[in-house]
């Protein structure tokens, strides 16, 4: 869960329509129309990335009149389906997928069960990626992949369609880099060797 206190805004006239704000937005809150960004306040998770990236320095964050609570509550979704998805991906329900917002695996899986079909929709529904935007991406993608979602990244967006993790590395790679102790870590985290790559192109 995230409580979003700010929302992005910008000065229209000097905007050069470069689209960079749209490209970096993690929650799909910006779309371009006639070379100007349209910001959907309901989707903005207040990360400030667009403000940091705007080359014309014409974007800013303004305080919301009412903070936006962004979350997927357990009672909103079928918990059996959430548990099955977590099990398929090999992700613990209570582990913090997003270490900035402390959003747990159960909430990310809940968003997908509720209907999120891509990373942007998961972010908009949970507030995930409103902080560093780094560590949460791979496990969230793994859950999306486990749910059978289309893993094609949006054009120019800065994430890769890979959920590379201990589960995805081949035995050959583990053997090639013994100093990385990959096999040992795998034995620790996945002693029964239940999990593996969801798609072989990730290996």
Residue 110 or residue 133: which is nearer to ligand SF4 going by CB? 133
Among 45, 89, 98, 144, indicate the residue that binds ligand SF4 (CB under 6 A): 45
183: exposed, middle or buried (Cβ count in 10 Å: 0-12, 13-18, 19+): middle
CA distances from 60 to 21, 114, 133 (A): 11, 32, 19
17: left (phi over 0), alpha (psi -120 to 50) or beta: left
Residue 19 or residue 64: which is nearer to ligand SF4 going by CB? 19
Residue 23 or residue 183: which is nearer to ligand SF4 going by CB? 23
* Using rule CB under 6 A, residue 46 touches ligand SF4: yes
* Using rule CB under 6 A, residue 23 touches ligand SF4: no
DSSP codes of every residue in 3-71: EEEEEEEE-STT-----HHHHH-TTS-EEEETTEEEE-TTT-----HHHHH-TT--EEEEEEEEEEEE-
Among 3, 5, 31, 56, indicate the residue that binds ligand SF4 (CB under 6 A): 56
* Using rule CB under 6 A, residue 54 touches ligand SF4: yes
Piece of 25-33, 110-118, 136-144, 151-159 that binds ligand SF4 (CB under 6 A): 25-33
* Using rule CB under 6 A, residue 30 touches ligand SF4: yes
* Using rule CB under 6 A, residue 122 touches ligand SF4: no
Piece of 7-15, 101-109, 110-118, 185-193 that binds ligand SF4 (CB under 6 A): 7-15
* Using rule CB under 6 A, residue 16 touches ligand SF4: yes
Neighbour tally for 190: CB within 10 Å: 14
* Using rule CB under 6 A, residue 39 touches ligand SF4: yes
Contacts of 27 (CB under 8 A, 6+ apart): 43, 44, 45, 47, 120, 123, 124, 129, 130
Residues that bind ligand SF4 (CB under 6 A): 8, 10, 15-21, 24-25, 27, 29-30, 37, 39, 44-50, 54, 56, 58-59
């Amino acid at each position: 869960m995230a409580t979003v206190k700010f929302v992005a805004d910008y000065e229209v006239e000097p905007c050069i329509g470069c689209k960079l704000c749209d490209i970096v937005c993690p929650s799909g809150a910006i779309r371009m129309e006639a070379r100007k960004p349209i910001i959907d306040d309901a989707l903005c998770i207040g990360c400030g990335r667009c403000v940091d990236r705007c080359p014309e320095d014409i974007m800013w964050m303004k305080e919301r009149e009412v903070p936006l609570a962004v979350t997927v509550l357990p009672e909103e979704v079928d918990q059996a389906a959430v548990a099955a998805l977590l099990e398929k991906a090999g992700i613990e329900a209570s582990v913090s997928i997003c270490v900035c917002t402390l959003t747990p695996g159960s909430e990310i899986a809940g968003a997908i069960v509720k209907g999120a079909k891509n990373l942007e929709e998961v972010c908009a529904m949970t507030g995930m990626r409103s902080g560093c935007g780094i560590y949460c991406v791979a496990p969230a993608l793994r859950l999306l992949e486990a749910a059978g979602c289309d893993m094609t990244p949006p054009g120019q967006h800065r994430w890769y369609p890979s959920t590379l993790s201990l589960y995805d590395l081949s035995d050959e790679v583990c053997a090639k880099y013994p100093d990385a102790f990959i096999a040992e870590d795998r034995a620790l985290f996945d002693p029964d060797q239940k999990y593996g790559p969801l798609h072989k192109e990730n290996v």
